[in-house]
A and B are shown apart, each in its own frame.
Chain A
Amino acid sequence: MSAKNKSSDIANKGKSSVSLWKRAFIANEEWDDKEEFLDVIYWMRQIIGIILGLCWGLLPLKGFFGLVLFVLVNAAVIYVYVSNFQNIDEEEYGGMWEITKEGFMTSFAGFLVTWIIMYTGLHSGSLL
């Protein structure tokens, strides 16, 4: 009995996480649970960080400009997503600053790692 319950729990969990990703790409979606929406923002940030790190490394972008551009692009994408795509009232989440902060440091670290590794591999001149 308990095993059955457990498996149905897992199935429900899987279902909700799939629908969470689907919901993330539906415009003006209703978010009853704040945590769910902040999770979407968090994971979106991590993906953006890695994608930008790959792009910056491939181009390659260098110097302080690369860092500043990352911060600007990252913040702008989230801002547009929250205020134009989802039309969220940011006051519900404690202001735009709270949303902008969500997962930023982790995404920044992920971005730096991918940027440094791509740059080292493709443009530093010494692979060994």
Chain B
Amino acid sequence: MWSDSLLIVFISICTAFLGEGLTWILVYRTEKYQKLKVEVERQSKKLEKRKEAHGDSLDKQHKKKIEREEERLKNNNRDLSLVKMKSMFAIGFAFTALLSMFNSIFDGRVVAKLPFYPISWVQGLSHRNLPGDDYTDCSFIFLYILCTMSIRQNIQKLLGFAPSRVASKQGGALFGAPSPAQFK
């Protein structure tokens, strides 16, 4: 059982590197992506500074300027996700195939023992395709998801591919209506 769980950790490290490597070849190294990323980061920082500086003033001119910059940032963010999207689809397909292959290899095998009793909506995942009613038995998919969650993000951050906090904060705010706190 232990060798299975260690093997799954190893598999997820490999797939994380493979995924990042493929994304680097298809997206990160392209000039268009790099240009857009720098631009989005610069604009996000500028926007945040402007909001901090003029947040309190109810000056219409400043508000208009902020709105205009938000609009520009929104467009750049959209372009950035478009650049990413095509290759993400390709990688997504490849990984779905890979995952279903591993799934069939580990089908019905208990790969680990959980030290806790999972809550009901997690049981569907942690006990997927496993025989018996012992819900502390752990399936491949549950351990694989946990490994990927921790390993992939850390590798992204280590290699410097993770989006910066300012950009994701500003980007996230653009999807919803601007909260009143933004203009404080």
**B143 contacts A63, CB within 8 Å?**
no
Known: A35-B164, A106-B149, A106-B153. A63 touches B9 (CB 8 A): no
**A119 contacts B165, CB within 8 Å?**
no
Residue B46 at the chain A interface, CB threshold 8 Å = no
| B side interface size, CB within 8 A | 24
**Chain B residues within an 8 Å CB radius of A67:** 116
Instruction: Give chain A interface residues in 71-128, CB to chain B under 8 Å.
Output: 105-107, 109-110, 112-113, 115-117, 119-121, 123-124, 126-128
From A38, A120, A128, contact of B112 by CB (8 A): A120
Within the assembled complex, what's the spacing in Å between the Cα atoms of A127 and B111?
10
**Interface size bucket, A side?**
20 to 34
Within the assembled complex, what's the spacing in Å between the Cα atoms of A67 and B114?
12
Stretch of A4-12, A23-31, A53-61 with 4 or more beta carbons under 8 angstroms from chain B: A53-61
Question: How far, in Å, is A105 (CB) from chain B's closest CB?
Answer: 7
Residue B121 at the chain A interface, CB threshold 8 Å = no
Known: A109-B150, A113-B146. A120 touches B2 (CB 8 A): yes
Digit string of B1-18 for contact with A (CB within 8 Å is 1, else 0)? 111011001000000000
Residues of chain B touching chain A, judged by Cβ–Cβ distance below 8 Å, are 1-3, 5-6, 9, 112-117, 138, 143, 146-147, 149-150, 153-154, 157, 164-166
